[in-house]
């Protein structure tokens, strides 16, 4: 279940009709998010699992054929498969993550810029 305190403006979630929506506002009660058009009860949304399709749409690339490491930019931000999970690592740090909004939040915390998909039709 999604908790409002784990979300930021710009995070992507999966609406109950399986469309991806962008969080444009969070109600102080924590029970609603705004998608730019309307207030939506948060329980009607789900997390989006990180997949290769999402990573590629965010601009990550597989620099070496057969590698499990996805790099963004000049290699200072990398994601790697760890069995059935995808994890972030940078230098000596690593953290297992499996949800799109976690990746977006981590990227923003480390880089100070938003991680947004390239394909507009996703949201």
Q: What is the pTM of this model?
A: 0.74
Q: Give φ, ψ of 87 to 5 degrees.
A: -130, 155
- What order do you get walking across the sheet with 77-82 strand by strand? 69-72, 77-82, 85-90, 93-97
pLDDT at 106: 84
Please, which residues have CB within 8 angstroms of residue 28's CB and are 6 or more apart in sequence? none
Domain ranges of the chain: 4-46, 52-122
| Cα gap 117→101, rounded to integer Å | 12
Is the distance from CB of 54 to CB of 70 less than 8 angstroms? no
Could you read off the pLDDT tens digit of each residue along the chain, which spans 123 residues? 899 999 999 999 999 999 999 999 999 999 999 999 999 999 999 999 888 888 888 888 876 666 677 777 655 667 766 666 666 555 455 666 778 998 898 888 878 889 988 865 555
Tokens at residue 42, please?
A: 């948060």
pLDDT at 76: 61
pLDDT at 11: 95
pLDDT at 95: 64
Task: Give the Cβ contact number of residue 23 at 10 Å.
Answer: 23
């Amino acid at each position: 279940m999604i908790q409002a305190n784990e979300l930021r403006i710009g995070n992507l979630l999966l609406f109950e009709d399986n469309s991806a929506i962008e969080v444009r506002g969070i109600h102080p009660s924590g029970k609603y998010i705004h998608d730019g058009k309307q207030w939506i009860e948060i329980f009607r949304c789900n997390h989006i699992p990180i997949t290769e399709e999402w990573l590629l749409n965010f601009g990550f690339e597989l620099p070496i054929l057969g590698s499990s490491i996805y790099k963004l930019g000049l290699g200072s931000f990398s994601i790697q498969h760890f069995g059935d999970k995808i994890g972030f690592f940078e230098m000596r740090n690593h953290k297992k993550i499996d949800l799109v909004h976690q990746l977006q939040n981590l990227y923003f915390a480390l880089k100070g810029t938003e991680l947004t998909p390239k394909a507009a039709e996703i949201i």
